[in-house]
Chain A
Amino acid sequence: MHNIKTVGVAGSGTMGAGIAIVAARAGFKTIVFDTQQAALDRARKQTEGFFAKSVERKKLTQPDVDKIMAGLSGTTRIEDLASCDIVIEAVFENLKVKHDLLAQLNKACKPETIFASNTSTLSITEIAAGSGRDEKFVGMHFCLPAQLMKLIEMSPGLRTSDDTFQTAWDFAKAMGQIPVKTKDNPGFILNYFLVPFNNDAIRLVEAGVAAPADIDRAIKTGLGYPMGPLELLDLVGLDTHLLVAEALYSSTHEPRAAVPALVKRMIAAGQLGRKTGRGFYSYKTNAMFGG
């Protein structure tokens, strides 16, 4: 059984803000750290907006939200994470950036604090090696959008202790999430399968096998997937796909993980997907999907 009461989240971007919502909503005292006050303010505003919708949809009451928000704070001082029982990092997918952060966290936090990484592509063991406490390090990959998706891919590094993994596993369940255990492999499960699949779909377009709309229709109608791969890529953004795919390819050197040339050409042309109004499809607005 875990003994976690206070949760730290390092990084207040889309993932960090979503993770903080999950933890705070489950009743944990949650402290979000970011070096930029503006980023914290933006995350706070997004969080308030999210909970306002929850009230509107009668998933939560206003008193519920008031209680949750009272337990959720932001800080630009890393020392404020000293009392945390677990700190989940959700910063840029770069090993050096993560190591720099973890070195500071290692100094700031008590020795028994567990560190977790929300990385989707980097090795947990490699990140843990720069944490100063690799036995107390675990992978916890939340899915986007974290505040809505229940799944967490949980990965022990080579030196993660059984006790650390079990504590983090129990904590994930206590947050109302569904943890699944994966090995510390590049891309874990989701990205390991999704990125090459999406690359293959791009290659079909590249080779003139079928138009994007035909590919998406085939996948949705034939397999019952909620979105076709090219619609999904437009939603995620081709620039983001490039980063994830390059990280996966650099770790695996698997040909299907290699980014098709068309992606780079589309990025050069400013066709990143929904956010630029044009990707594999054209869009009249850049409103978020489902908004």
Chain B
Amino acid sequence: MRRTTESENKKLHKVKKKMEAKERRRKRPSYFGAMIDPKGFHPSQIKFYLILLPVLVFTILPILFIVSHAFKPIEELYAYPPKFFASRISFDNFRALVNATSQTDIPFGRYLFNSIIVSILVIIISLLLSSLAAFAFTYLNFKGKKFLYAANQLAIMFIAIAVAVPRFMMITYLGIANTYLAHIIPLIAMPVGVFLLKQFMEQIPKELNEAAIIDGATKWQVYWHVTLPMVKPALATVAILAFQIVWNNTETSALYIVDEALKTLPYYFGTLTLATNSIAAQGIQAASSLIIFLPNLILFIILQKQVMNTMAHSGIK
């Protein structure tokens, strides 16, 4: 490409814009609709902003409410008329949340530790398993491939709640009830993850693998050094989905874990918040919702670009 000076560039840009605008004016009556992903503001967008604004406000209001409620001092929770926003920031609710554990003898940090360790393990193992499987589905041949892939496609519809009973039996049968494994193993097979990764791998040019194999790389080396770096966006997306499932999960702690010291944070919050109906509990509920919600949100914001990239390949054909 030719290198241009800045002023030249600007000029070119101006001229181009003018021509584009002219073109647009000329075509407006017939060719006006397809303005997907516009580069800037245009008066025709006003109606879309007007549609979106109330929806966005409606969507974000409960979340703002949670945030402000979580930081309200106790006396303001009882205030009448009720206030939407806290007048001063207080950490009473969070303190109450942490201290409430003294009744159960299990410190707050223990639940937090369990949640973190279980989440990290589920993310790593599920990423490994689903990327290996997706690699096999995309590049390798083996017996039962068609059947397994068809089963996997159907299992994207899998409703975890519906198999709570046999899952309970299986966990007991395998002898992993009441251990960390009960948290981890049932969650690491993610049909959606395999599916998204496979869709992504199919977009990688075949020549890349072939070149690596000609250079003497094994399948494992191709997988690790060629394929995985190419599917990073899909890996990021699967990590987010896995985190969401495991971090928000309360069923495992409620149904398959008896030992209080092995239960996780959202379960503990659930016992605190569902048991009481009082107004003081509302603040604690908001604080705990916030603690569960924030890591999800932050992870998504960091990886948003990757997620959108993955979703472009997400179609079930």
Q: Are A and B subunits of one complex?
A: no
